[in-house]
Amino acid sequence: MPKVTFETDRCKGCGLCVSACPKGILALDREHINKKGHNPAVVTDQAACIACAFCATMCPDMVITVEK
């Protein structure tokens, strides 16, 4: 099963990965604030991930890792 992980403390919550995901399984975590003071991106349904890595490609800060 594909696995998406985030370095949440480095995420600036820009949302580019959220808009790039074709499965719509990424969202900004409105309940958590990271060390930088931003709402980081999170995976809402890991099982639905197809490992396309569009999210990682769009991330300007390279905080996303996609594993197959």
> How would you classify residue 26: left for phi > 0, otherwise alpha for psi between -120 and 50, otherwise beta?
beta
**Which run of H or of E encompasses 58?**
helix 54-58
Range of the domain at 56: 3-67
- Which tokens in the block code for residue 63? 């905080």
**What's the CATH code of the domain at 31?**
3.30.70.20
Number of domains forming the structure of the chain: 1
Average pLDDT over residues 6-32: 97
Average pLDDT, integer, range 34-58: 97
Q: What is the mean pLDDT of residues 39-53?
A: 97
Please determine, for residue 4, whether its predicted confidence score (pLDDT) is greater than 90.
Answer: yes
> How much of the chain, in percent, has pLDDT values that exceed 70?
100
Instruction: Say whether pLDDT at 54 is over 90.
Output: yes
